[in-house]
Structure 1
Amino acid sequence: MTCMRKVIDEIYGKETKEGVGAAVRRSIGGGKYSEFDPFLLLDDFTVSPPAGFPDHPHRGFETVTYMLSGRFRHQDFLGNSGVIGTGDIQWMTAGRGVVHCEMPDGENGGRGLQLWVNLSRNQKLCDSEYQDISHKDLPIAEKDGVQVRIIAGESMNVKSKIITKTPTVYLDFTLKPGSKFEQATFKGWSTFAYILDGIISFGGDGEEKDVSRHNTAIFSDGDSVRFINKGSETARFVFISGKPIGEPVCRRGPFVMTTQEEIEQALSDFKNGVNGFENAREWKSKV
């Protein structure tokens, strides 16, 4: 028997400042949801030059940047660089160490989402790597007024090409007025949705909940989520689900490990330029 998920909590993403002058709406990663295993953070960010996220380190998790509009330039201390534009994805595994910058490309800035996905303890010190995916290569499926862009995982029997170290589903849904859909989920996985535009009604069987723009819906456990656009305008949201790791989380700024001792080691490695941070002290970005 199908066990439908329902909305058990709602978070409003209040705008704050992060980096250097960037406007950020944070849901996961703040307040009562400082983490939602395996997710550490979801930011809806808006940047205009000269604002952005200048040189900073990471260790122990993955960052997923999804551009909603505009262009974002990336550069790191390993010699990697590039630009992602509207609809593009960068799935970065920080692993044992990355120092990088993320800044708007061009005069108009941009808007995007950044998701932090935790890594299990035995993966935290893996080699750093990237998956840069153009919007042209992200599969899209459509049915009865519902369109879904499959960033990670599967929907409407269409699968993403992105490989996730921590099992993750990341979908971008657009619903025309009156359209509805039921998305299958893995039972036991942490699942939420962030509304980009319009209002979406989640649930069913008399337990529907309307969730509006800039709000995040936290779901109960179950093996599906039903949703409908009851409004008169097109609505859009991202749907994110992941398999919990079930390990302690110890974090300090851009480092996420499992113990305080590991955090201290990360700070020491970064300061001394060793164990994955060999170029950290000398490198400065040119963006």
Structure 2
Amino acid sequence: MSEVSLFIAFTAGLLSFLSPCVLPIIPGYISYISGIGAQEVKEKGGFSKKAFMASLLFVVGFSIVFTLMGATATGIGGLLREYQDHIAKVGGGIVVFFGLHFAGVMLRPSFLKELAGVSALILAFFFLGIISQKTLFDLLGIVLVVAFLYLFGLHEVLYRQMRKEMKGSVSGLGALAVGMLFAFGWSPCIGPVLGSILLYASQQETALQGASLLFAYSMGMGIPFLIAGGLLSAFLGFVRSFGRFFGVVEVVGGLLLILLGVLLTTGKLAEISLLLGA
């Protein structure tokens, strides 16, 4: 397990937290699990022990489930080790699809034309001797996986899910249960990112490595969540001011997933890990 892999997982968690359909509703999540209303936030300000403890239980809840998911994904990957190369290639294409979804480019009416243009560019690189035949097949395979999932409307399902929000209120250990339910149900925005990290985890050699990846992902989401819970009043101001950067977060997160998918498909991620002392 390389530090690069853990950093990618942690960064993916952070980008999930900052995503446009997660960050704005974080105050609502915290209010939901702590029972603190907007008026109480305005009156008290400063550090909120009640919101912090509720947030801590919430983070512990989804961290437990995510980490177990990582360990399980690796176990499943071990059972399918014989087909690991094929799974990595198809999985890489799925990760690229998630990246394009996260970046919001699939809403463009000209998406299929642009995808065809990318295919033509890849072919041009091959005929010009810039890429090898193996790289050509790997990249075209990614394009075909993306086109398949797009034509079958998976992107529409993901975008419909993005509109769902949690409502209600809980208290005490209920926050732990809500955190676990949050992990099982995912959140529409973290689904593509989390799914990509799970696919990567399935390629690890041991359950501990897979669990470590998902734990790092959980910390990427959990640490800022704890800060938001403890400093809820200040966090509300941050959300309002950060809104202008949501587009950047989408693009950066999408590019990260696309890069991860390409590296998985071409087998370059393992090579990079070895070079850096994995």
TM over 0.5: no
Asked which structure has the greater RCO (Cα within 8 Å, sep 6+), the reply is 2
Q: Could you state the TM-score of these two structures normalised by the residue count of structure 2?
A: 0.25
| Larger helix fraction of residues | 2
| Larger strand fraction of residues | 1
Larger radius of gyration: 2
